[in-house]
A and B are shown apart, each in its own frame.
Chain A
Amino acid sequence: MRAFTILSGKVLPLDRANVDTDAIIPKQYLKSIRRTGFGPFLFDDWRYLDPGTLDIDPATRRVNTDFVLNRPEHAGATILVARENFGCGSSREHAIWAIDEYGFRCVIAPSYADIFFSNSFNNGVLPVVLKPNEVQAIFEVVANDAQAEISVDLPAQQVRLPDGRAFGFEIDAGRKDKLIRGLDAIGETLLQSDAIRAYEAKRQATAPWLFA
């Protein structure tokens, strides 16, 4: 997996709470059996004026110029900022694949849905939790200057604003380490194969019906 250390970049201000994964990537794109190709369909229902499917070329669709993702001043943003409970609803990992492929490496919000939060780490995208007033401060910075760059420093666990303000954030030590080193989660777990086998042997002795 790709490593994450320090990211400096422009911000996309998505001023909504409860952004669900159906909104992040609608169901018709979940029919793809590939892991890539979802970036052009990120926020599809908000981003385009006419409906889309996997076999319609997005370049032929009418763009909703009012939607923040399509505003020219926000082009090239790598940090997505939103309100509470981001990524709620379906477990679809396609949501984070779409966010990642579009070009975001980090999401900042006051809170996330649990499954989306795990999926983000598993794809090398950092979900940062800041306090609501700190998230509000970022929205204000971007409202004043869409070109403003903020800095997300994972080793220091800090988000820094251009005016010098810095907001600390919490993250599990294990997740932080995996992200900084870009570790393969399955490879790491398989190092524990003996412990898994020992667990199975013990469990099978007391609850054999689980291994039928």
Chain B
Amino acid sequence: MAGKTLYDKLWDAHLVRDNGDGSALIYIDRHLVHEVTSPQAFDGLRLAQRKPWRLSANLAVADHNVPTTDRSQGIADPISRAQVDALDANCAEYGITEFRMNDARQGIVHIIGPEQGATLPGMTVVCGDSHTSTHGAFGALAVGIGTSEVEHVLATQTLVQKKARNMRVTVRGAVAAGITAKDIVLAIIGNIGTAGGTGCAIEFAGEAIAALSMEGRMTVCNMAIEAGARAGMIAVDQTTIDYVRGRPFAPKGEHFDRAVAEWKHLHSDADAVFDREVLIEAASIKPQVTWGTSPEMVLPVDGRVPNPAREADATRRDGIERALRYMGLTADMPITDIVIDKVFIGSCTNARIEDLRAAAQVVEGKRIAGNVKLAMVVPGSGLVKRQAEGEGLDRIFRDAGFEWREPGCSMCLAMNADQLLPGERCASTSNRNFEGRQGQGGRTHLVSPAMAAAAAIAGHFVDVRGA
């Protein structure tokens, strides 16, 4: 019999019951909750007079609606405020642990889970947010869920799931100097497409993945959903264990040693068989920039914007034409000729300490270009912000003309006041370049923190390696 994949092991360890109809009841170890996708779930619980099954499994934080400017006056937008107030009230009513807006531990839900050790290897982790795939970086099975499923997890500590197919993306060899986790995952999405992982759980493997820090691994798994996969994951190794050790929610003492002994099995067996395998040569990856309105519309920085005339498939040609129109770009223009208006460094993809260090290194001693109307850094959590300030990164950014903000989702999805105006073009370290994502009519180019920083200084995209 063939060995098991990492996904198989995680699935089997959480199987409560096989329903025998293609679905199974899966136990959920950790449920992360935020203000946008939970109010209707709590209402559902109340209506049915149900209680949360296991309170200690839940951890809540407000991140999507919170302002990134001065918070001493609360939230100005009454509708955003009502949503955050609803989370506070629901957590208080049911006794769920919540980091409120002015708690130093507050931040983006996918940043604080790992930071607190609330995300552990071997866990099932769910959250009403598609970027829950981030937590798979720890050798966990982490999936984004809808609000009905949030209510289901609250009430039963389980989910009814269909087992996904096993897919492995191997990034073989070492990346060139200056190539980051963001470039790796954008190159993967460019290769397999935004539906390339649909129906699959993707395990990222290979030397280039193993060489990444936990921060980098989280960036890669974060965007598994942009490749269509509900879950992305990476095997546990010493890097994982060293990161988890000593975090507030992580096991301590003898429990930690027992946990580590179990976590060491969290990798695919050598003889495991995958339904689909993709191989990418790390050395072929260059700094990536998206040009269109889907993450798969991505090119190396030395590329040229596609010409729809060269696309044979009618639906795809139509998609390219629509994207060029929306993005205000001309076919065949060099990526490096694209001039930007704003820069956003932040989001659950790229707002960890390593991301801020990489960007600061590029901007140190320089000034943002005259055509850049706004360049902002939004740390992923209050603790990331504090650490960055301790290292003097805030000073480097401010001296270069960047704004240094409070933590939250911010302009990744523009639910708070941080938005693009119609027609504005942004170099963004976030995860989605959909039409209107960062503000109605706004134009988003996804890049790594270093590439966003280099674009801020040049005023247009440049290869950070020559900048």
Interface residues of A (CB under 8 A from B): 15-18, 20, 22-23, 26-28, 30-35, 45, 51, 53-55, 83-85, 88-94, 96, 111-115, 118-119, 122-123, 172-175, 177, 185-186, 189-190, 192-193, 195-196, 199-200, 203, 206-212
Contacts and interface: CB of A to CB of B under 8 A. Distances in A.
B17 A195 contact: yes
A12 to B, nearest CB: 17
28 contacts: A18-B195, A18-B294, A20-B434, A22-B434, A23-B436, A31-B79, A51-B440, A54-B79, A55-B79, A84-B315, A85-B198, A91-B37, A91-B144, A93-B146, A113-B198, A114-B164, A114-B228, A118-B145, A119-B147, A123-B148, A174-B22, A174-B23, A186-B151, A195-B25, A199-B27, A207-B122, A207-B262, A212-B251
Given A51-B440, A54-B79, A85-B195, A115 B145 contact: yes
Nearest to B412: A27
Interface residues of B, number: 80
Interface stretch (B152-160, B281-289, B327-335, B399-407): B152-160
B187 interface: no
B415 A30 contact: yes
Given A22-B435, A89-B130, A209-B255, A34 B40 contact: yes
A96 B16 CA distance: 29
B235 to A, nearest CB: 18
A115 B230 contact: yes
Interface of B: 16-17, 19, 21-23, 25, 27, 29, 36-37, 39-40, 43, 48, 50, 53-54, 56, 64-65, 77, 79-80, 82-83, 86, 120, 122-123, 128-130, 132, 144-149, 151-152, 155-158, 160, 162, 164, 194-195, 198-199, 225, 228-230, 249-251, 255-256, 258-259, 262, 294, 315-316, 318-319, 322, 413-415, 432, 434-437, 440
Contact of B199 (A26, A114, A196, A200): A114
Given A18-B319, A174-B23, A196-B157, A45 B195 contact: no
Contact of B40 (A22, A35, A115): A35
Nearest to A18: B294
Contacts of B319: 16-18
Contacts of B249: 212
Contacts of B198: 85, 111-114
A210 B145 CA distance: 21
Nearest to A178: B160
Nearest to B313: A17
Given A20-B434, A119-B148, A209 B155 contact: no
A195 B415 CA distance: 40
